[in-house]
Amino acid sequence: MNKAIVRAQIIREKYTKEATLSLEAEGNWSLYAGSSIETINLSVPILTGNGSGLFPLKVSTSIRIYFELHCGKDKLVFAEKHLPMAGGYNFRDLGGIKNSEGRSVKWGKLFRADELSNLTEDDVKYLSSIPITSVIDFRAQNEARRSPDKLPDTVQFAYPITITPGNLSSEGIQANLLKTNIDSHMKHMNRLLVSDPACVRAFRIFFAIVQNNLSAPLIFHCSAGKDRAGMAAALVLFALGVDEATVMEDYLMSKVYLSDKYDAFIARYPRAESIFTVKRMFLQAGINQMKRDYGSIQDFLTKELKVDVVKMRRLYLEK
């Protein structure tokens, strides 16, 4: 098999919105673009080159763009993993993640995010171009009232599904700072996410929505997009047959994307770091809890959360 394309991704500077193609490839290549995967214009490339490197890219900041890269016999369809939100930090497309069979999660269907209350008009316009149809908010009612979501007009369904293990509200965070071992608290919280009856019931509702044919393109979010949304993303990826190492890799990216949001606060209050970041041991505690209680993650998904794995893979995996 020709392995001309090793890796391709779009990197965008958060504040200037300047985009760069980061590419590992062998030989000549051409990059094509469109506002949807179906409408990628294959007649005129937007960029051509040879081999690996970083290549400046002129693409719209107001609409979602999808790309197709041709290199030798290889073709790769992809989009920006990290969305260029001026008012959001941990805003990501689950697309492109490969499962254990080598099948990729579809681009532009499932998005994980932090709070949506600070989105700018341009951010909302960008989300309209996808177009986002459903939004699931895992925050507590007082969090949602204090910082209401800013949603594009394309949203037809907004679902408040409160998940509050270990008290993840801002008041709860202040109380948690008084705890002597915050790492232990965060691990316990991740165990509760998959064992507390109220949390399990919430995730069961979450999957019922995700499995509805009319729900996607869909955003699910909490306040930081790392704990409640982090576990939701992990469960979705497990349902799609993604292996544990890859799920963990996606989870740990929150540390990178949230650094701009919380680094200044952490510098002032270093003891608070564990509340505002992710660590491998946190998600692992939840994974271990599922295995301990149900024998396997798949049994937890199918027996407890009533996940239709076949339907999930039909809806969200490339053929």
Mean pLDDT by runs of 10 across the 319 residues of the chain is 76 89 95 96 97 94 94 94 94 98 97 97 96 97 95 98 73 56 90 96 98 97 96 98 98 94 88 90 98 98 98 96
Q: Specify the pLDDT at position 172.
A: 53
Assess whether 142 and 165 both reside in one domain.
yes
pTM: 0.93
Assess whether 223 and 170 both reside in one domain.
yes
Burial class (CB in 10 A: 0-12, 13-18, 19+), 238: buried
279 with 230: CB under 8 angstroms?
Answer: no
Q: Specify the pLDDT at position 1.
A: 42
CA dihedral 233, 98, 90, 283 (to 10 degrees): 50
The CATH number assigned to the domain holding 64 equals: 2.60.40
Assess whether 18 and 156 both reside in one domain.
no
Assess whether 106 and 75 both reside in one domain.
no
Q: Specify the pLDDT at position 49.
A: 96
Q: Which residues pair with 159 in a beta bridge?
A: 136
Assess whether 294 and 270 both reside in one domain.
yes
The CATH number assigned to the domain holding 114 equals: 3.90.190.10
Assess whether 129 and 262 both reside in one domain.
yes
Assess whether 51 and 154 both reside in one domain.
no
Q: In which residue are the tokens 């799609």 written?
A: 240
Assess whether 308 and 272 both reside in one domain.
yes
What's the domain range around 294?
A: 81-316
Q: Which of 45, 80, 115 is the last residue of a domain?
A: 80
Closest CA to 91 of 114, 75, 110: 114
Q: Specify the pLDDT at position 61.
A: 84
Q: What are the tens digits of pLDDT across the range 53-66?
A: 999 999 888 899 99
Closest CA to 140 of 156, 123, 117, 160: 160
Q: What are the tens digits of pLDDT across the range 132-152?
A: 999 999 999 999 999 999 999
Assess whether 103 and 58 both reside in one domain.
no
Q: Specify the pLDDT at position 177.
A: 56
Walk across the sheet containing 218-221 and list its strands: 92-93, 110-113, 218-221, 134-137, 157-160
- Count of domains observed in the chain: 2
Assess whether 112 and 61 both reside in one domain.
no
Measure the N-to-C terminal CA separation of the chain; round to a whole number of Å.
Answer: 19
Q: Which of 28, 63, 80 is the last residue of a domain?
A: 80
Assess whether 271 and 284 both reside in one domain.
yes
Residue 13 φ/ψ, nearest 5 degrees: -70, 130
Assess whether 48 and 88 both reside in one domain.
no
Burial class (CB in 10 A: 0-12, 13-18, 19+), 267: exposed
Q: Which of 80, 111, 131 is the last residue of a domain?
A: 80
Beta strands in the chain (DSSP E): 5-12, 19-25, 28-34, 47-50, 53-57, 66-71, 74-79, 92-93, 110-113, 134-137, 157-160, 218-221
Q: Specify the pLDDT at position 318.
A: 96
